[in-house]
């Protein structure tokens, strides 16, 4: 009889209760939850990096949002439209002869590369101050911008700019020993890539970056995923010629620290910090071109007499 008698608690020990379907599942341990969240974040990051990888050229070259300006070349004295052939079609440039230059009296020339949100259509008026100094200007376009065919990339731009360079030096009114490259924003990357192949007499960098690699780190993109690195910092550390760097202290797109690092890397540098943001640098174009004039005079691109009565 004693072996047949059991308390409820003893019976519960020998016969476990059936599971309750309405009972909540057991809680995961803290380490498992952390691991699950880490995996989830990693997958989201991979998706983010993949999206930026495939969209990076649309971000770097937002050409589809920029409309060509109708008749922008009309009324510009001496403007000559230039076309080169590329594997993707024709690419445009505008040649603006400097004042007083000729076959008998060749003068300096500037190859100008604009920012990623601009076209050559926007620049003839600003380039007039170069032209008054006797500097001819070639406004070179990027593939896919304005009326030019194709898609832009560092490789494509360098391919085309090499052709523009050769075309410019073949002009009888251009002195090949007094060639200047002037790049604004992403245009700084374009002219630095060209300068690595054909060094100019002087280089002007306006609101440009150390590299797209460094810019990508602001958005947590791995450097090896960057298709168009435009490593200006590495180039400047090897360039022996004179460089002028202008940059806005309040630049919200390309931080001012990029200009400071470019300045430190350059072997001959004229540094012009401006109280401005990105798109309004320099705040006074006329005063800025006076500084460019002094720089080019010191670099022996302009004769000293040109500085006495040029853009001033």
Report residue 286 as tokens: 């006329």
pLDDT for res 16: 55
How do residues 161-206 score in pLDDT, each as one tens digit? 999 999 999 999 999 999 999 999 999 999 999 999 999 999 999 9
Specify the range with the lowest mean pLDDT, choosing from 22-26, 89-93, 112-116.
Answer: 22-26
Q: Which two tokens stand for residue 6?
A: 């059991």
Q: Which domain holds residue 197?
A: 63-309
Of how many residues is the chain composed?
312
For residue 43, being part of any structural domain is answered with no
DSSP lists the bridge partners of residue 94 as 81, 139
Give the total number of structural domains in the chain. Answer: 1
Q: What pLDDT is stored for residue 19 in this prediction?
A: 59
Residue with tokens 């880490």: 38
Cβ neighbours of residue 312 under 8 Å, at least 6 residues apart?
290, 293
2 inside domain = no
In this model, does residue 33 exceed pLDDT 70?
Answer: yes
Q: Is residue 13 part of a domain?
A: no
- Output the six-digit token pair for 84: 């080169």
Q: What is the pLDDT of residues 280-301, one digit of tens each?
A: 999 999 999 999 999 999 999 9
- Find where tokens 């002219």 sit: 191
pTM for the model stands at 0.84
- 300 torsion bin: left (phi>0), alpha (psi -120 to 50), beta (else): left
Tell me whether the omega of the peptide bond preceding residue 159 falls within 30 degrees of 0, making it cis. Answer: no
Sort strands 89-96 and 136-140 into parallel, antiparallel or unpaired: antiparallel
In which order are the strands placed within the sheet that holds 107-113? 80-86, 89-96, 136-140, 107-113, 174-184, 202-206, 242-248, 268-274
Share of the chain above pLDDT 90, in %: 74
pLDDT of residue 41 exceeding 90, the answer is no
Does residue 47 fall inside a structural domain? no
At residue 79, the 3 state secondary structure works out as coil
| Top-confidence residue, 312 or 35 | 35
Per-residue pLDDT band at 43 (split at 50, 70, 90): confident
Provide the token pair at 265: 């890397």
Confidence category of residue 9, pLDDT binned at 50, 70, 90: very low
* CATH number (domain holding residue 133): 3.40.50.1820
Quote the pLDDT of residue 21. Answer: 58
Residue 226 in domain: yes
Q: Give the mean pLDDT of the chain.
A: 89
Judge whether 46 lies within some domain.
no
Residue 84 within a domain: yes
Surface-to-core class of residue 163, CB atoms within 10 Å of its CB (0-12 exposed, 13-18 middle, 19+ buried): middle
Characterize the bridge pairing of strands 89-96 and 80-86: antiparallel
Concatenating the DSSP letter of every residue in 83-141 gives: EEEETTEEEEEEEEPPTT--SSS-EEEEEEE--TT--GGG-TTTTHHHHHTT-EEEEEP
CA dist 134 and 289 (Å) reads 13
How confident is residue 46, by pLDDT bands cut at 50, 70 and 90? low
250-to-102, 263, 282, 283 alpha-carbon distances in Å: 42, 17, 12, 12
* Any domain includes 26: no
């Amino acid at each position: 009889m004693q072996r047949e008698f059991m308390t409820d608690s003893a019976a519960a020990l020998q016969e476990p209760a059936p599971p309750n379907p309405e009972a909540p599942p057991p809680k995961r341990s803290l380490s498992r939850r952390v691991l699950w969240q880490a995996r989830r974040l990693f997958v989201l990051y991979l998706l983010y990096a993949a999206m930026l990888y495939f969209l990076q050229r649309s971000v770097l070259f937002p050409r589809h949002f920029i409309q060509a300006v109708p008749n922008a070349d009309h009324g510009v004295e001496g403007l000559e439209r230039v076309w080169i052939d590329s594997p993707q079609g024709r690419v445009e440039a505008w040649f603006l002869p400097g004042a007083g230059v000729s076959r008998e009296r060749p003068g300096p020339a500037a190859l100008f590369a604009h920012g990623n949100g601009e076209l050559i259509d926007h620049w003839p008026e600003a380039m007039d101050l170069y032209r008054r100094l006797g500097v001819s200007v070639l406004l070179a376009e990027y593939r896919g911008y304005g009326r030019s065919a194709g898609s832009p990339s560092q490789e494509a731009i360098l391919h085309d700019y090499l052709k523009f360079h050769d075309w410019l030096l073949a002009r009888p009114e251009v002195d090949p020993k007094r060639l200047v490259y002037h790049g604004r924003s992403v245009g700084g990357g374009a002219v630095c890539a060209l300068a690595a192949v054909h060094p100019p007499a002087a280089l002007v960098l306006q609101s440009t970056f150390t590299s797209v690699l460094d810019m990508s780190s602001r958005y947590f993109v791995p450097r090896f995923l960057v298709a168009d690195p435009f490593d200006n910092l590495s180039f400047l550390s090897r360039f022996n010629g004179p460089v002028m760097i202008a940059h806005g202290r309040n630049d919200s797109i390309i931080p001012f620290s990029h200009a400071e690092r470019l300045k430190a890397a350059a072997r001959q540098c004229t540094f012009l910090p401006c109280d401005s943001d990105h798109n309004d640098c320099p705040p006074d174009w006329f005063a800025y071109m006076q500084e460019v004039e002094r720089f080019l005079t010191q670099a022996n691109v302009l004769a000293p007499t040109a500085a006495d009565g040029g853009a001033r």
